[in-house]
Structure formats: structure tokens, C-alpha cells
Structure 1
Amino acid sequence: MTYTPRAVAGMLGIAPTTLRTWDQRYGLGPSVRTDGGHRRYEDADVEVLRRMVGLTAQGVAASAAAVLARQPPAARPHGPRVPIAAGEAVVAQRGFLAAAKRLDEPAMAELAAELLAAHGVVSSWESVFVPALVELGELVATSGEGVEIEHLASGSVLHALRSIPRASGPGVLSALLSCAPDEQHWLPLEALGAALSEEDCRWGNLGARVPAEALCDAVDRLRPRVVLIWAHRQDLALRVPLEELGTRPGVVLTVAGSGWEGVRLPSSVHRPKSLTEAIGLVLSYVR
């Protein structure tokens, strides 16, 4: 498969003149030329240019970025994950947002995967993904534009989170995750689930817009150790049957999200304020 310069420029969200300049100055040109002398880019050429775009978007000088772009992506590290430093988080946010605004889904997915491999779910989510997604959400709210950018960015994060291997085998679910009735913001539940996978915990996610009756039925059938319900608006949180769910023996009932602010909760209901707290709560009951 080969691509014309115009097609590559469109894929990467850059001007054809920029593509020509990078070819002339840094040798980031096509691998193929037709019999008529026309330039044609292969997939490998496009990936080098994609790295070039990402590096320059992060503020790396073009000459240095060209050297780095030619190098194959570093192998994802194994072993203990370390929190993302503040400066590195800012650079990662900038790179992720730049890729989002040019609708470069492969670049976002690659960056998200690298962050998760090096730093784990919690640090990547709290230091990079949430700030970036919040900024994109505010862009949509204030300008009425960019919905496609926000959706593609969320999808890229979701894809990376779901790439983390889940614990398998028989046994009781450590946690059952669910949205409140008509709640559609379920990406935070995927982040919690991925973080639990890193801790080798079995979990299930009922997803968005779970009716109260369906949630109660699922709890009765699955008997999870912890049930966590997400709501980002108070009117949605108030539709969750907390009193009924609280009668299930042996089930630790937990709520999360901004929708629970100001809601009077039964004394037995937990409300973690962060992803780290939610993971710690689940682990404290299953270990």
C-alpha cells in the first residue's frame, strides 16, 4: 500500500509544503518513486512522519525530531511502574492534545499505551488522560465545536485501557462496576477496571445507562464483593436504589463521581474521592 504526498499530508494534518520541506531538509521522504518519478509513501514512511509530527508538536526542534523519528519506538518497559513527573505529564498532555486536534488516532493510541506501560493506569489517568479530556470537553462546551475530537480521544484512551490483560479464572468478582440510570459517562469505570486488572482482580462493568432493576438483578446473580456506581450529575445519582442494594448480604456498596456531592448517603455506603482510593477500597475487602 502506498500513498501520495497529498494523501499523507491529509492523514497527518500538515501542509504538503511541510512534507516537502521535511523531505528536502531531513531526508524524511518516500521510499518509492514511480516510473514517472512521482513520490509514493509506504506505511513505514508514514509512521516515521507520524512520530515527527508528534515530536514537533511537543516542542522538539525539527532537526532533533527528525533524528528521533527515524529511530524505532522503544520497547515498552517491564517491571515496577513509576509515577509521571510533573514536567513529563505536561509534555504528554501537550502531545496527546495535539494528536487529538489533528484527529490522529494512531498517535494517541501509541502515546496512551506507552504511558500505561511505563507508569500504570492510575498515574496515566490522573496526570495525563483526565486533564487532556477535561480540556477537550471544555472546548466543546465553550465553542460548540470539536465533538469529533473529544470522541476520538476518549476512544483512544479506552482502546489503551482495554489492552491491559484481565484476570481470568473462576471465583467471585472483586468488583462490579456500573453507571447510574441514564448516566453515559462510563470511561472512568474502564480506568478503574484496568487498574484492578493490574492488581490481578476480577471485575465486571455493566457500562452506561443501567436501569435500577437491571443493576439489582446483576448484583443478585453475580454476588460481587464490591459494587461501585458512577454518576456525574446529582439527578442521576438520586435514581440509584441504594437502600435496596444495601440489603444484599456481604456486598460492599460504593459510589463515585461528582453527582454524589450533597447526596445523603446511608452510613454503610463508601464514597472514594479518587481512583487511588477506589482501588485501595476494593483491595482492602478482597485481600
Structure 2
Amino acid sequence: MANDGLSAGAAARRLGVAVTTLRTWHQRYGLGPSRHEPGHHRRYTVEDMVRLQVMQRLTAQGVSPAEAAAWARRSPSVTSPDALTTPDPAAPPDPPVPPDSLPLFGDAPADSPAGSYFDDAPPGSYFGDAPAGGGQTIALGPRADPAARGLARAAMRLDAPAMRYILESAITHRGVLAAWTKVMMPVLIGIGERYEVTERFVEVEHLLSRSITEVLSTVPRPPRDITPRALLAATDEEQHTLPLEALAAALAENGVPSRLLGARVPPRALMDAVARTGPAVVVLWSQLPSTGDVAQLERLLDLPHPPVVVAAAGPGWPVGALPPPVTPLNGLAEALRIVSAACA
């Protein structure tokens, strides 16, 4: 950077934000350029840029802009321009040191809605009902977890490194169950609601889903000498698998290996997999009523040696029409408990 500082446009490009964002941070929170010479535009100094980087990282993790700005203004100044070298976009940002009062990665509260894993989304909708009105943001509600708010902001910016950083931190500090119910699901639901209202933001949902898949896949799996006794699969023509990926990761976190077949598993392929592996439990996921064909469950029950547990997960199943031996799963916590017990 030149000795006379950065222009607003150059600073915005360095941070990867819009110039209007810098103007807002300047006007509302006092995080503006400090170098000024008569007859010239103000310029962002090294110290200014460090404060803006703190602001950017904290808001990405869910801290309110006012609190983030207050913390950024307290950040120590630096004297080396090396602090402003362009970061590697593939590397996660360094974790900030937030005030102790900010529960960025605290434990999930006791009222954590574990049941939202399978049963919150109504039949026919992957993410939930749409509220009235439109908007360019993801509405999460006043009690939303700070990490969920940060994830929503990163998702709307299509900031994959920030999303992965937040998701990895949530899983590391809270575990898969709390990360899914308190951080991932609210944002997925919010994006779905925005789509229902605006028919936009498909790219946001796709990138977020991909980021969640990538992070869930990094949860360490049990040793390979432990034979998986759980088989997880989406029903025929069902394309949604994120809840099954969350279940597989939560099981692995608890030392239970599983086989995840993925989306759109034809009935014959499922039967062949069951015959070949002899699982103790089979979990079939159906998101939409069009994919919740009870005949797929009945085929499993009619096998000469059926699995100990045949479980129906997801809002696509007609709960009242499920065969009595089928176990409906009502939440990730319950699914984790039942599948783990069946595999013991």
C-alpha cells in the first residue's frame, strides 16, 4: 500500500465489500478513513484497515454491527503494512477475540429445538412456509443464535470461506447436534422463506448447502475396522440429503459408523444394499409427499431377515399410513439415540 493510504474503492476491494458498506460503517459507526490532506479525499491508513478487518470478521460471525464497531475501535493499532497483505482466499480468517459477553460459540440453550431436524418443514416444502413480504436479507427472528446470524450474512455475501469457518467452529465447540439445530437449520429455513417470497437466492442456498456438506464430511469417522450397521438413504427420486448427512456426522461423532447411500436410491438398489450388508437399522428419508411411498418401507419389512429397525425420517411420509413396525423419527436427537441403540 502506498504511504498515503488507500482510497475508499481500493479499501473496499481489499476487504471484498461494497463501497457503500464502507460509507455506512463510516457514517454510523465512525470507522472511516483517518488520513486527510486539504484538497484531497480522505484515505484509509493501515490502522484504519485493521479496524475494518476486525469489523468485518465480527459481523460475519453474528456480532451486531454496533458491537463489532465498538470492539474494532478498541483494537490496537499496528505500524507494519504487512498486516494488509491480501489474504489467501482459501484460508479461513483468523478468529477474533470478542468480548466475553458475546456467546459466539457457547453451548446450545436447554430449549434447543432438536425436533426441527425432521419435522419442522411442512410437507411439500423443504425449508418451511414463507412469511409475508419480501426482502434482501435472511430473517432469523430475534432469538436467533449469533453464529446463525453470522452464517446468514456470510451466505448472502456468497462468502464460502467465512461460512466454512463459522460451521467448523460451531461443530468443534458445540457438536453436530447443536450446530445443526441452532446454526445450520435456521439459516436454511430462512433462505427457503426468502425464495418463496422472491423466487431468488437459489445460488445462496446452493453454496450454503455445499458448505454444510463439506464441513459435515470433515467430522472424524470411527475406525475402519468397525463394521457399519446403519444404512442411511433417501427414497426413490428424493434429492434432499443434508439431514441424512447431519445424522451420519452426528453418529460418527458418537463413535457409530454408517453407510450413507445419498439421494434418489431406487428400491431395487436399496434392497441389494440391504442384502449385501445386513444392516441392523435402515433410515429412509423423504422430504416431499411425492417421494414418501410407503411401499418402499413395506419391501424392507417383507425381507426374510429384515433390519431390526426400519425408520421413516422426514416430512414427506404419511405418518398415519406407516406400517406399525416402522419407527418414525422425530428429530436429530431421537434419530441419534434410536440408531445408536440399534447398532450397539
Tell me which interval the TM-score lies in, with the shorter structure as reference length: 0.7 to 0.9
AA of the residue aligned to 1:90: D
AA of the residue aligned to 1:51: R
The alignment's C-alpha RMSD in Å is 3.4
Asked if 1:103 is matched to 2:158, the reply is yes
Per the TM alignment, residue 270 of structure 1 is displaced from its structure 2 partner at its CA by 0.7
AA of the residue aligned to 1:264: A
Q: Deviations over 1:184-231 (max 9, x none)?
A: 110000000010011111111111111111111111112222110000
Q: Which runs of 5+ in 1 are unaligned?
A: 32-40, 76-80
Q: Which residue of 1 aligns with 2:197?
A: 142
Q: Which residue of 2 aligns with 1:63?
A: 70
Per the TM alignment, residue 19 of structure 1 is displaced from its structure 2 partner at its CA by 9.8
Residues of 1 paired with 2:75 and 2:218: CA distance? 26
Q: Which moved further from structure 2: 244-253 or 99-108?
A: 244-253
Residues 242-253 of structure 1 mapped to structure 2, 5 A cutoff = 242-246=297-301, 247-249=303-305, 251=307, 252-253=309-310
Counterpart contact for 1:56–1:62, Cα < 8 Å? no
Determine which of 207, 231, 234 is the counterpart of 2:286: 231
Q: Which residue of 1 aligns with 2:331?
A: 274
Residues 171-250 of structure 1 mapped to structure 2, 5 A cutoff = 171-238=226-293, 241-246=296-301, 247-249=303-305
Counterpart contact for 1:175–1:224, Cα < 8 Å? yes
Q: Which residue of 2 aligns with 1:38?
A: none
Compared CA separation, residues 262 and 53, structure 1 to 2 (3 A): closer
Residues of 1 paired with 2:277 and 2:76: CA distance? 49
Counterpart contact for 1:173–1:223, Cα < 8 Å? no
AA of the residue aligned to 1:54: A
Asked if 1:15 is matched to 2:72, the reply is no
Residues of 2 paired with 1:30 and 1:180: CA distance? 57
Give the structure-1-normalised TM-score. 0.80
Residues of 2 paired with 1:17 and 1:158: CA distance? 32
Q: Deviations over 1:227-260 (max 9, x none)?
A: 1000011221116522221125251211100011
Higher helix share: 1
AA of the residue aligned to 1:220: A
Q: Which residue of 1 aligns with 2:171?
A: 116
Secondary structure of the 1:228 match is strand
Compared CA separation, residues 147 and 276, structure 1 to 2 (3 A): same
Determine which of 73, 90, 95 is the counterpart of 1:73: 95
Residues of 1 paired with 2:333 and 2:278: CA distance? 24
Q: Which residue of 2 aligns with 1:156?
A: 211
Per the TM alignment, residue 151 of structure 1 is displaced from its structure 2 partner at its CA by 1.1
Q: Which runs of 5+ in 2 are unaligned?
A: 1-8, 36-43, 78-92, 98-105, 112-141
Q: Which moved further from structure 2: 190-199 or 64-73?
A: 64-73
Bigger RCO (CA 8 Å, 6+ sep): 2
Q: Which residue of 1 aligns with 2:341?
A: 284
Q: How many residues align?
A: 268
Q: Which residue of 1 aligns with 2:87?
A: none
Q: Which moved further from structure 2: 45-54 or 245-254?
A: 45-54
AA of the residue aligned to 1:106: P
Q: Which moved further from structure 2: 237-246 or 192-201?
A: 237-246
Determine which of 56, 79, 83 is the counterpart of 2:108: 83
Residues of 1 paired with 2:319 and 2:218: CA distance? 36
State, as a whole percentage, how many aligned pairs show the same letter: 32
Residues of 1 paired with 2:322 and 2:294: CA distance? 13
AA of the residue aligned to 2:108: P
Counterpart contact for 1:237–1:260, Cα < 8 Å? yes
Compared CA separation, residues 205 and 100, structure 1 to 2 (3 A): same
Residues of 1 paired with 2:211 and 2:339: CA distance? 26
